[in-house]
Amino acid sequence: MNTEPRTVTLATTDHGDVTLPCPSWCAGHNDHRPQYRTDLAHAGPDVVLKFRGRVLSEACLDQAPLAEAASRDVQVSVSLTGTALDARGVYELAADLDTYADRLRDLADQLLVIRAGEDR
């Protein structure tokens, strides 16, 4: 088993080729296009929310190790919110989604009552 740390070399527009450690959760950089060094990022595999085949949201682990110091930490990028979240934020979002799912079920129950003619 290879225990050497993984690295990746990526082209940048301002610093040429940059080699950096690649975390074990990174899904790779096959779609990389040259960009600024501070914009280089690692992303894990997407966790996709689909409804009837349509993608509603995607989330993944995300890290920009050469970005401004405040944003170098690993976060979860959630397309539904348009932001990257720390663990607490992900838990808060999940709780709000649970609450929303309960409210959707309440609407479905209400619809069944209406359709059954009990509340027209």
pLDDT, tens digit (0-9, with 9 covering 90-100), for 57-79: 999 999 999 998 767 899 999 99
In this prediction, residue 120 has a pLDDT band, given cuts at 50, 70 and 90, of: low
Q: Tell me which DSSP letter residue 110 carries.
A: H
DSSP string over 38-104: GG--EE-PPEEEEETTEEEEEEEEEE-TTS-GGG-S-EEEETTTTEEE-HHHHHHHHHHHHHHHHHH
Average of pLDDT values for 98-116? Answer: 95
Please state the domain extents for the chain. Answer: 87-120
Residue, of 1 and 15, whose pLDDT is higher:
15
What is the CA angle 109-113-115, rounded to 5?
115
